[in-house]
Amino acid sequence: MADFFNLIRNENMKTFRRPRLYVMLGLIVGLIVIISGIWAFNDNSFSMWEVSMVETTTLFWIVTIFAVVVASSSVAEEFSTGTIKLLLIRPWSRSKILLSKYISSLLFAFFMTVIFLLALLLVNWLLFDAFSGGNSQQAAMLFTELGGHSFFEYIMRYFGLTFLNTVMTVTISFMLSTIFRSNILAIGLALFIEIVVNNALQLLALIPNKWVDYLLFVHLNLTKYAGSNVSTEDGMTLGFSLSVLAVYYVLFIALTWYIFNKRDVAS
**Residue 70: count of CB within 10 angstroms of its CB:** 27
Q: Which of 69, 150, 75 is nearest to 112 (CA)?
A: 69
pLDDT at 170: 92
Read off the pLDDT of residues 124-139 as tens digits, 9 standing for 90 and up. Answer: 888 876 555 555 555 5
Per DSSP (E only), the strands in 90-207 are: none
Contacts of 4 (CB under 8 A, 6+ apart): 96, 99, 100
Residue 9 included in any domain: yes
pLDDT below 50 — which residues of the chain? none
Residue 235 included in any domain: yes
- Give the number of domains in the chain: 1
**DSSP H or E run through 29:** helix 19-42
pLDDT at 200: 62
Q: Is 202 left (phi over 0), alpha (psi -120 to 50) or beta?
A: alpha
pLDDT at 188: 79
**Looking at the DSSP assignment, which residues form a beta bridge with residue 16?**
none
Question: Is the distance from CB of 227 to CB of 109 less than 8 angstroms?
Answer: no
pLDDT at 258: 92
In the chain, the N- to C-terminal Cα span, in Å, equals: 29
Question: One-letter amino acid identity for 70?
Answer: V
Residue 267 included in any domain: no
pLDDT at 67: 92
Q: Which of 176, 167, 168 is nearest to 74 (CA)?
A: 176
Residue 66 included in any domain: yes
pLDDT at 104: 94
Question: Is the distance from CB of 189 to CB of 202 less than 8 angstroms?
Answer: no
φ, ψ dihedrals at 239, nearest 5°: -60, -40
Q: How far apart are CA 264 and CA 260, in angstroms?
A: 8
195-203: list long-range contacts, CB under 8 Å, 24+ apart.
Answer: none
Structural domain boundaries, residue 169:
2-262
Question: One-letter amino acid identity for 118?
Answer: L
pLDDT at 140: 57
Quote the pTM value: 0.86
DSSP string covering 118-132, please? HHHHHHHIIIIITTT
